[in-house]
Amino acid sequence: MAAESEAQRELQYEQTLCQRFFISKVGEDWVFLILLGLVMALVSWAMDFAIATCLQAQKWMYGGLDTNVLLQYLAWVTYPTVLITFSAGFTQILAPQAVGSGIPEMKTILRGVVLKEYLTLKTFVAKVIGLTCALGSGMPLGKEGPFVHIASMCAALLSRFLSLFGGIYENEARNIEMLAAACAVGVGCCFAAPIGGVLFSIEVTSTFFAVRNYWRGFFAATFSAFIFRVLAVWNKDEETITALFKTRFRLDFPFDLQELPAFAVIGGGDGGDDDDVGGGDGGDGSHGGDDDDGGVVVVLLVMVVVMALVMAVMAVAAGHVGSHPSPLPRIASGFGGALFVYLNRKIVQFMRRQKTINRFLMKKRLLFPALVTLLISTLTFPPGFGQFMAGQLTQKDTLVTLFDNQTWAKQGLSDEFEYLGILEAWRHPRSNVFVTLVVFILMKFWMSALATTIPVPCGAFMPVFVIGAAFGRLVGESMAAWFPDGIHTDSNTYRIVPGGYAVVGAAALSGAVTHTVSTAVIVFELTGQISHILPVMIAVILANAVAQSLQPSLYDSIIRIKKLPYLPELGWGHHEKYNVRVEDIMVRDIRYVTLNCKYRDLQHVLQGTKMKNLPLVESAESMILLGSIERAQVGALLSHQLSPERRLQALRRKTLSLDRHRLSDASICFQCHV
C-alpha cells in the first residue's frame, strides 16, 4: 500500500517534471516561431487554393457561355460583384477593423500604440474570409498587406493560446518582438520570399530595428516559406521547390551594360524629354563597333550624369512638393508611384467630401463596392474593351506572361514568334502589343487606385507590382524593337530580353509606392533569378528617390487619411523641422485635477474645458503628472457621488466624512494612462 502510494507519488512527480519541461520548451522562442510559420503557411496555401478555385470558376462560367455574349457579360460581371459585396458586407458586420491592408495599423501598433480590436480572432476570421472572396473576384487587389495583418493576428492569438501553458507570453516587450517577426512571416509566406519578407517588414514597420530580432524574422519566414512551397509540391502543382513566378532568362549575358540607362528610366528618370534614353543611344552610337571601352565609359558617365540630374531634379522638387502638375509624357516608376499614392488619396478624400453621395452610400454601404466592381469588371470584359488590355488574364497569369522570356514586338518584323496559350490575350488583330500595353497600364492604374479604396480586406502591392511589370515590359519591348539584334554586336548576338525589363519595372514601381528598397529582394525571390541585380537595384533606388521627394508612402498616406495616432518621420529635406520644439506648439493654460481637489473644483474643471482626457497631478504646486482620466469617467463618478440617492444614503449613515474617502476611491479607479 505504502509502496503503491510511493510509486504514485513518484509518477506524479515525474509528470510534474515533464509538464514543467514541456512548459519551459513551449516558452522558447523557436517553438512559437515554428508554430506561427506553420499556421501561416497553411493559411496562405489554403487561401491561394480557394482563390484559384474561385478564379477558375469564373473562367469556367465565362467559357461555358460562349454562345451568348450577353449571358457571358452577365456572368463576367455578376460573379465579382457578388463576391466583393459579400466580402464587404461580411467584413462590415463581423469586424470593420479588417478593412484595408492592415500595414498602416501594424506600423502604428508596433510603435507601441494600442489599437483596440485589431488583433482579435473576430478580425482574423473576417480578414481571411473577406480577403479570399475579394481576391477570388479577380479585381486588381493584393494579398501582401492583409497577410502582414493576418500573420500579426495569428501571432497575437497564438501567444494568447500559449500563455495558457506558461508565463513568458505575458511579457509585452516580447509580444512586440514577436509581432515584428510575424510581419516578416506574413510577407514571407505570401510570396515565398523569406529574405525580402524580413527586409520589407523592417522597412515598412520599423524606425529603429533591434538586430537581435533579426534571426526571429528569418527563422519564422524561412520556415513558413518552406512549408508553403512544400505544400505546393505535395499538391503536385510543382515538381520541386522553386520560385513563385519563375523566370528563365539567360544566365551568361543577362543584359548589356548599355541597356542600363533604359533600366534607369524605368526606375526614376523623368523620361519626359527622352534625354536619358537618348544618352544610352548616344553611347551606342559612339562606340561604333570595335572601341567597346569607349562605349562603356560613355555609358558610365551618362549613368553618373543621369543619376546626378535626377537627384538634382528631386532635390529641387523636394522644396515644392505638390506644385509639379507638369504632364509627363512617359511616367516613370518614381513619378508613377507618387501619382498612385496621390490618386488613391484623392479618391478617398473625394468620396468623403461629397456629402450627398456619402450620406447615400453610408446608408447603403454595399453600394459603393458593388458599383466599383461593376465598373471595373465591365471594362475588363474580354469581348468588350477588355480585348485591348488583356482583360481575361488573372493577376497571376498577367505576371507570368509579362515575365515571359520571348519578345512580343518581334512578331511584326519576323513571323518566328507565335503567341501561345495565355500569351494570346496580349495579341489583338487590329492593334499591336504596344497599344495593348499602354492601354493596360493606363486603365489598370486608375482601376487599382480605385479598387484599393473599396472597404474590403485588400492590399495594393500586387496591383502596383503588375502595373510596374507592364511598364517595364513596354520599355523592354520598345528597346527590343529599337535594337532588334541587341546593342552589343561585337562577337555574339545577345538580343534584348523584355522580360528582364518587366522584372525591373515591377520592383521599381512597387518600391516607389511603398518607399522601400527591399522590393528588389522580393523580386529576386519571386522570380528565382538574381541576374538583373544591378539594374533592379539602380531602378529601385532612383524610383525611391523620386517618389519619396514627391509623396509619402502609400502606408503613411493611409495613416494620415485614417488619422491613426502615428508620429510621421522627418524625411528628406525636412531637416529644418528639427528646430520645431514641443514648447512651440504646446498649450500651457490647461485644466487639471489634483489629488486633493473637492467636488466643486471637479465641477469647475468639467465646466471649464472640453478636453476628453483630464490630467491628474499630485498638487497645484508640484504639478507632477500622475496620469490621466477620461472626462466621461469623471462626470459619471461625480454624478454618482452627488446623486440624490447617494446623498440621502450618506445622510442616513451620518458619516459625512466617508464621502471624502469615496472620492479617493474614485481616483484609484481612474484609468491611468501614464
Residues between 314 and 333 that touch a second copy (CB under 8 A)? 315
Under the binding rule (CB under 8 A), the answer on residue 353 touching a second copy is no
CA distance 51 to 45: 10
Q: Based on CB atoms, which residue is closest to a second copy, 193 or 449? A: 193
Q: Which is nearer to a second copy, 33 or 376 (CB)?
A: 33
What are residue 613's DSSP bridge partners? 630
The single residue among 44, 91, 152, 222 that binds a second copy, judged by CB under 8 A, is 222
Ranges within 179-198 binding a second copy (CB under 8 A): 194-195
Cell of 68: 451568348
Q: Nearest distance from residue 297's CB to a second copy, in Å?
A: 7
246 binds a second copy (CB under 8 A): yes
Is 2 or 211 the residue whose CB approaches a second copy more closely?
211
Indicate whether 166 belongs to the interface with a second copy (CB under 8 A): no
Shortest Å distance, C-beta 440 to a second copy? 28
Binding segment (CB under 8 A) for a second copy, from list 103-111, 299-307, 359-367, 372-380: 299-307
Instruction: Write the DSSP assignment of 97-146 as a string of letters.
Output: GGSS-SHHHHHHHHTT---TTTTSHHHHHHHHHHHHHHHHTT-S-BSHHH
Helix, strand, or coil here: 459?
Answer: strand
Min CB(496)–a second copy separation in Å: 12
Least distance in angstroms from the C-beta of 293 to a second copy: 6
Spatial distance between the Cα atoms of 556 and 205, rounded to a whole number of angstroms: 11
Nearest CB to a second copy, comparing residues 425 and 513: 513
Q: What is the number of alpha carbons within 13 Å of residue 520 lying toward its C-beta?
A: 21
Of the residues 290, 415, 416, 569, which one makes contact with a second copy according to CB under 8 A: 569
538 binding a second copy? (CB under 8 A): yes
Answer whether 496's CB lies under 8 Å from 425's CB: no
- Contact residue for a second copy among 343, 375, 533, 650 (CB under 8 A): 533
Span interacting with a second copy, options 95-103, 298-306, 624-632, 660-668, rule CB under 8 A: 298-306
571: exposed, middle or buried (C-beta count within 10 Å: 0-12, 13-18, 19+)? middle
> β-pairing, 625-630 with 613-617?
antiparallel
521 near a second copy (CB under 8 A)? yes
Specify the residue, 436 or 518, whose C-beta has the smaller distance to a second copy.
Answer: 518
Span near a second copy by CB under 8 A; candidates 28-36, 495-503, 593-601, 662-670: 28-36
Q: Which of 55, 131, 158, 227 binds a second copy (CB under 8 A)?
A: 227
CB atoms within 10 A of CB 606: 17
Report the residue from 36, 185, 225, 470 that binds a second copy according to the rule CB under 8 A. 225
Least distance to a second copy from the beta carbon of 247, Å? 8
Please give the residues from 447 up to 506 whose contact with a second copy meets the rule CB under 8 A. 488
Interface positions, 249-268, toward a second copy (CB under 8 A):
251-257
Q: Which helix (H) or strand (E) segment is 554 a member of?
A: helix 554-562
Nearer to a second copy, 569 or 621 (CB): 569
Kindly state whether residue 313 participates in binding a second copy, applying the rule CB under 8 A.
Answer: no
Q: Does 537 bind a second copy (CB under 8 A)?
A: yes
- Reference 217, options 207, 229, 205; nearest CA is 205
Among 116, 212, 363, 612, binds a second copy (CB under 8 A): 212
The whole-angstrom separation of Cα 251 and Cα 257 is 15
Residue in the block written with cell 503536385: 236
Q: Which is nearer to a second copy, 44 or 529 (CB)?
A: 529
Q: Comparing C-alpha atoms, which of 522, 617, 561, 474 is closest to residue 202? A: 522
Q: Is 162 in the site for a second copy (CB under 8 A)?
A: no
3-state SS track over 164-185: CCCCHHHCHHHHHHHHHHHHHH
Any idea of the CA torsion for 59, 61, 66, 68, to the nearest 10 degrees?
Answer: -140
Nearer to a second copy, 546 or 597 (CB): 546
- Residue 624's φ and ψ, nearest 5 degrees, are -85, 120
Nearer to a second copy, 40 or 131 (CB): 40
520 binds a second copy (CB under 8 A): yes
Residue 530 sits in the site that holds a second copy (CB under 8 A): yes
DSSP secondary structure letters along 531-546: TTHHHHHHHHHHHHHH
Task: Determine the Cα–Cα distance for residues 31 and 220; give it in Å rounded to an integer.
Answer: 10
- H or E element: which one contains 628? strand 625-630
- What distances in angstroms separate CA 531 from CA 70, 244, 496, 504, 520, one per listed residue? 47, 17, 14, 11, 12
CB 296 within 8 A of CB 488: no
Q: Which is nearer to a second copy, 309 or 366 (CB)?
A: 309
Nearer to a second copy, 99 or 262 (CB): 262
Contact between 233 and a second copy by CB under 8 A: the answer reads yes
Residue 215 near a second copy by CB under 8 A: yes
Q: Which three cell numbers stand for residue 461?
A: 502591392
Cβ nearer to a second copy, comparing 316 with 651: 316
Q: Which residues are CB-neighbours of 474 under 8 A, at least 6 positions away?
A: 434, 437, 438, 441
Residue among 65, 75, 296, 366 that touches a second copy (CB under 8 A) = 296
Residues in the chain, overall count = 674
Alpha-carbon span 303 to 277, nearest angstrom? 11
CB 491 within 8 A of CB 507: no
- Contact status: 45 vs a second copy (CB under 8 A): no
In this structure, the dihedral spanned by the alpha carbons of residues 149, 151, 155 and 161, taken in order and rounded to 10 degrees, is 100
C-beta closer to a second copy: residue 231 or 481: 231
Q: Choose, by CB under 8 A, the member of 242, 493, 639, 671 that binds a second copy.
A: 242
The smaller minimum CB distance to a second copy, of residues 70 and 567, is found at: 567
| Total of residues contacting a second copy (CB under 8 A) | 73
Q: Is 541 in the site for a second copy (CB under 8 A)?
A: yes
If the CB atoms of residues 204 and 393 are measured against a second copy, the closer one turns out to be 204
> Could you give the string, one character per residue 617-656, with x where binding to a second copy holds by CB under 8 A and - elsewhere?
----------------------------------------
Instruction: Give the separation between CA 10 and CA 94, rounded to whole angstroms.
Output: 50
CA 244/CA 55 separation, integer angstroms: 18
Q: Between residues 312 and 351, which has the closer beta carbon with respect to a second copy?
A: 312
Residues 228 and 192: beta-carbon distance below 8 Å: yes
Q: How far is the CB of 34 from a second copy (least distance, A)?
A: 7
The pair phi, psi for residue 137, each rounded to 5°, is -80, -15
Distance, CA of 244 to CA of 191 (rounded, Å): 7
Ramachandran class of 322: left when φ > 0, alpha when ψ lies in -120 to 50, beta otherwise: left
- Least distance (Å) between residue 208 CB and a second copy: 5
Residue span binding a second copy (CB under 8 A) among the ranges 23-31, 77-85, 431-439, 601-609: 23-31
Q: Pick out residues in 275-294 that bind a second copy (CB under 8 A).
A: 292-293
Which of residues 26, 42, 162, 230 is near a second copy by CB under 8 A? 230
